[in-house]
C-alpha cells in the first residue's frame, strides 16, 4: 500500500472529486442547500428555513448550529482542510465545507456580527436587502453559483 500526498487545496480536491460528496456526482445549489439543512438539523437547529432569492440559495435557522458541533469550522470560512462531521456519521464532512468548496459567492452571518463575504458580492447586491428583511435568525448562509 502506498500513500499519495495531495498537493492541491482541499476545496480544489473536493471539486475534482464531487462523487465523494454528492449522489451521482451532480453538484447543484439545491444539493448543497439540502446538505446544509440536514447538517443544521443534525446539530440541533429545529427551525430551519431554506429559500431561493434569485440566483441565491439561503439557509437560515433560529438556532446557531455552528455552536453545537464537536469540530469547529474556520472563523473566516476559508477551509485549509476538510472538517469531519462525526455527528452525521463516519467519513462525513461538514456541509459548510461543501458551500466553501463549490459555491462561487458566499455570505455567512451569525446574529449580532458582521457577515463573512467570500467571492464577488458587492455591498449593493440585492441579497443584502433580502437578508435584512428576513426574521432575526441566529445563523444564515447564502450562496450562489457553482465553481467548476
Q: pLDDT band for position 83 (50/70/90)?
A: very high
Backbone angles phi, psi at 60, to 5 degrees: -135, 155
What angle (nearest 5°) sits at the alpha carbon of residue 91, between those of residues 69 and 34?
65
- Mean pLDDT of the 40-51 span: 96
pLDDT at 4: 63
By the 10 Å C-beta count (0-12 exposed, 13-18 middle, 19+ buried), 71 is classed as exposed
pLDDT at 121: 94
- In angstroms, the Cα distances linking 45 to 69, 133, 137 are 11, 21, 11
CB 147 within 8 A of CB 32: no
Indicate if the pLDDT at residue 5 is higher than 70.
no
pLDDT at 79: 93
- Which comes out higher in pLDDT, residue 8 or 92? 92
For helices 29-42 and 95-102, the axis angle rounded to 10 degrees is: 160
Rounded Cα distance, 148 and 16, in Å: 9
Domain residue extents for the chain: 10-146
pTM of the model: 0.91
Q: Tens of pLDDT along 99-135?
A: 999 999 999 999 888 899 999 999 899 999 998 888 7
pLDDT at 122: 92
Indicate if the pLDDT at residue 1 is higher than 70.
no
Rounded Cα distance, 131 and 121, in Å: 13
pLDDT at 93: 95
Q: pLDDT band for position 3 (50/70/90)?
A: low
Rounded Cα distance, 142 and 33, in Å: 9
Amino acid at each position: 500500500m502506498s500513500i499519495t500526498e495531495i498537493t492541491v487545496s482541499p476545496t480544489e480536491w473536493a471539486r475534482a472529486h464531487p462523487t465523494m460528496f454528492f449522489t451521482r456526482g451532480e453538484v447543484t445549489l439545491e444539493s448543497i442547500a439540502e446538505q446544509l439543512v440536514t447538517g443544521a438539523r443534525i446539530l440541533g437547529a429545529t427551525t430551519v428555513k431554506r429559500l431561493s432569492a434569485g440566483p441565491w440559495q439561503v439557509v437560515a435557522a433560529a438556532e446557531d448550529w455552528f455552536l453545537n458541533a464537536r469540530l469547529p469550522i474556520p472563523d473566516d470560512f476559508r477551509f485549509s482542510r476538510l472538517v469531519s462531521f462525526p455527528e452525521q456519521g463516519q467519513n462525513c464532512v461538514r456541509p459548510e465545507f461543501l458551500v466553501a468548496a463549490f459555491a462561487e459567492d458566499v455570505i455567512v452571518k451569525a446574529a449580532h456580527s458582521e457577515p463573512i463575504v467570500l467571492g464577488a458580492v458587492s455591498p449593493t447586491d440585492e441579497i443584502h436587502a433580502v437578508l435584512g428583511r428576513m426574521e432575526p435568525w441566529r445563523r444564515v448562509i447564502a450562496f450562489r453559483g457553482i465553481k467548476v
